[in-house]
Amino acid sequence: MENFFPHCGKSGLRAEWRRLLDARGPAQDALFARADAVRRAHCGDAVPVRAILEFSNACANDCLYCGIRASNPLPARYRMTPDEILAAVHGIAAGGTAGTVVLQSGETPGPADEDLAALLRRIKAEFPALAITLSVGNRPRDVYARWRDAGMDRYLLRFETSDPDLFARLHPGSTLADRLGCLRDLQALGVQTGGGFMIGLPGETPDTLAGNILLCREFDFDMIGIGPFIPCPGTPLENESNAYAGDPDLFFRAIAVLRLACPDAHIPATTAFDALFPDGRDRALRCGANVFMPNATPQPFRRDYQLYPGKPCVDEEPADCTRCTRARLRALGRPVAPGPGHSLKKQAPPGNRPVL
Ligand code: SAM
């Protein structure tokens, strides 16, 4: 990994990132330009597209911020059947834009884990060119290993915050150490691993944010998903504010600093940016992000996977999101990356790694 901060130890890195996270005016413009140049040098201009399929909102967890937490009575609970999921994946493959399907759901460990392995085998057999990312939460290492053997290429598991006390307050019955243990298991299994965090959780400080970026750098994740925390009705945090509500440009500065800290990680322009800004994902792609994740969840399920209010495209169909993705990327002058868009790290299979 190229090192843009060669003389800094951990505390020096935190201090340098705190300074960059505080940039305003011309200093902020310079930060965005630098992050964009680093993104171009390490990831290229082509944008890997990953279609996200929210196949179930059933969840056993009660994360205090999340719209599909177990105790929230608002969403009608659904689980797509394997045939419904296969049909949606068929639509993604036929659309010809996304090289990856991201299967995401709430967390329901147990017998359904075996059904998921069977589903992965079916998807791989029918769509061998499509990479599969799974994002369904904490599991024991042997379950991850079975999913890998069944065809899972990648796993996405945000650690949410690097502050262990804040993590424990937000996740009843779970600890940051548990979550980081899962991420280490995935890396040890050779699965392309994505971490990440929310920006502006109530109780976090800019130093927490710098610590989150440091944790991403220490893990050397293949991909890193970050997005603003958005208070969600029906959750214990519904009346809280984002910690940086008065300074929304900070969300974009976080993307830019993350790009400088982790130059060759895949960094998606996540959906939550569009929930807060009409052109949020486009802005993220111009200041360090390199991946786009259109929603591929079919109707009528979309409206019940609202992790936070203002989620875009709840009334759209998957094909609308594919068209919109192509138009947005075209307007940005960024071609769709061919192929599965695997990790850009050296040990990974060749994806769309640019020649430097
Ligand atoms: N259950 C899986 C897990 O926990 O990794 C995947 C689904 S989970 C709902 C996906 C992500 O949604 C979480 O990692 C969290 O960062 C994000 N999320 C949930 N509620 C949010 C909120 N109110 N604002 C912003 N992001 C939120």
The pLDDT of residue 353 is 40
Ligand 1 atom with least separation from CA of 308: 23
Report the C-alpha gap between 86 and 93 in whole angstroms: 10
Mutate to test the pocket of ligand 1, among 307, 308, 311 (most ligand atoms within 8 A of CB): 307
The pLDDT of residue 124 is 98
The pLDDT of residue 5 is 79
Mutate to test the pocket of ligand 1, among 65, 66, 244 (most ligand atoms within 8 A of CB): 66
Q: Are 239 and 290 in contact (CB under 8 A)?
A: no
Residue 10: CB partners within 8 Å, gap ≥ 6?
214
DSSP for 246-270?
T-THHHHHHHHHHHHHSTTSB-EE-
Helix pair 82-95, 112-126: axis angle to 10 deg: 30
Report the C-alpha gap between 344 and 353 in whole angstroms: 6
Ligand 1 atom with least separation from CA of 198: 16
pLDDT digits (tens, 9 = 90+) for 333-349: 999 999 999 999 965 44
Can you name the residues that pair with 224 across neighbouring β-strands?
A: 195
The domains of the chain are located at 10-331
CA of 270 to the centre of ligand 1 (A): 11
Ligand 1 atom with least separation from CA of 136: 2
Q: Which of helix, strand or coil describes residue 197? A: strand
Nearest CA to ligand 1 atom 5: 137
Report the C-alpha gap between 215 and 341 in whole angstroms: 24
CA of 227 to the centre of ligand 1 (A): 10
CA of 140 to the centre of ligand 1 (A): 20
Q: Which residue ranges of the chain lie beneath pLDDT 70?
A: 1-2, 7, 346-356
CA of 9 to the centre of ligand 1 (A): 31
Which CATH number applies to 10-331? 3.20.20.70
Q: Are 148 and 116 in contact (CB under 8 A)?
A: no
pLDDT digits (tens, 9 = 90+) for 96-136: 999 999 999 999 989 899 999 999 999 999 999 999 999 99
Half-sphere exposure of 320 (CA within 13 A, CB side): 9
Ligand 1 binding pocket (C-beta < 6 A) is: 65-68, 104, 106-107, 135-137, 157-158, 160, 198, 227, 229-230, 232, 272, 307-308
Distance set, CA 235 to CA 68, 130, 229, 307, 334 (Å): 9, 36, 13, 10, 38
Question: Structure tokens of 117?
Answer: 């392995």
Give, for 135, the enclosing helix (H) or strand (E).
strand 131-135
Q: Are 69 and 62 in contact (CB under 8 A)?
A: yes
